[in-house]
Amino acid sequence: MPHQGKRDHRTSVRTGAGRRQWAWLGVGALVAGGLVTAVVLAVLPARTPDGVGPDGRTSDRAVAARATAAEAFPGGLARQPSAVNQAARQAAEARADGRDTTAARIDVIADEAVATWLTDPSERATAQTVRRVVRSAEQQDRTPVFVLYAIPDRDCGSYSAGGTSDDAYLPWVRSAVRAMAGSHAVVLVEPDSIAQIHVCERLGHDRLRLLDRAVDELAGHGLTVYLDGGNEDRVPVATMADWLRRAGVDRTQGFATNVSNFYRVDQERAYADRLADAVGDDPHYVIDVSRNGQGWRGTWCNPAGAGLGQAPHVTRGTTRLDALLWVKTPGLSDGTCNGGPAAGRWWESYALALVEHRVRD
């Protein structure tokens, strides 16, 4: 499925029964007249042995107070630096070859804020990418968006197979967290990782426990975290809600939908609202609109006739929808289907078709 080669939140928690442990959650707030550092001391619950109660909910855990959209994405969405902006590199190459018209069309993609996917199992390479993107976002005074995509048995061995080994995943997550800690980055955790349990039974509860532990690693570092909530046509809402709870969604901002997919915003909002109601505790959500400009085209894998969706932006925060994002990088193949190259490879003709069929604001 998807492949790429989701601040001061005034954090508060509601704790369950059991032993308590202290943790510092420190954030800085810049106000007129000087820098004020606000440090919030929160009481967090101890883990249960497996972290899951008999009803499927995480037990004895803190429930995060959700941020507003503006708090989750301070300053708005940051654009990628040129070093990691794949569309910008392709546009530059086209110009160097004298193909100015092609370059201008690719610029339509390159000029938007696109999420940065972290797919390399190397801790060092991942940290370098994160630091580069974070520095650029700080210069823009905007929020970077990262996608963690290196879970073991990624894509259940399909087009985007890969990821880390079982024992390397959490250290890899920690390396990424160290590099982005305090940056107020938004982190979308492992697209497809939950929904694929529906068709790849071997993933099972071990996958949910691993994601739950990854949420633990991400928590308390000034990051806004969204788990992956699939999309309207994959997993029954009640099942997905149960799996999200088991994966630790109660300790995140919420979930993402439509990642690397093509469903219209109105469809995904209706699904996401049903899912949020089923999850409980009022999770927020974001929707990937990078390629949904023409709606569902009959397949998730390089469908013909797809177009860019509306420009990515943060919402006004009057609903649970925090932002419409370009999560998938438009122009990267979904896999060797419908004439595409390997997953995560640039496919110029497809990128140009996405621009041609884009939504006109």
Contact 194, 228 (CB under 8 A): yes
How many angstroms separate the CA atoms of 35 and 8, rounded?
Answer: 13
Annotated catalytic residue 155 = yes
What DSSP string runs through 98-143?
T-HHHHHHHHHHHTS-BPEEE----HHHHHHHHHHHHHHHHHHTSB
Rounded to 10 deg, the angle between the 100-110 and 348-356 helix axes is 70
How many angstroms separate the CA atoms of 356 and 105, rounded?
Answer: 8
Question: By three-state DSSP, how is residue 16 classified?
Answer: coil
Question: By three-state DSSP, how is residue 91 classified?
Answer: helix
Annotated catalytic residue 153 = no
Contact 264, 234 (CB under 8 A): no
Distance of CA 275 to the CA centre of its chain: 17
Residue of 8, 155, 228, 288 marked active site: 155
Question: By three-state DSSP, how is residue 72 classified?
Answer: helix
Residue of 107, 153, 192, 228 marked active site: 192
For 162, phi and psi rounded to 5 degrees? 145, -145
How many angstroms separate the CA atoms of 274 and 251, rounded?
Answer: 19
Annotated catalytic residue 8 = no
- CB neighbour list of residue 296: distance below 8 Å, 6 or more residues apart: 233, 262, 263, 264, 267
Q: Which residues are catalytic?
A: 155, 192, 334
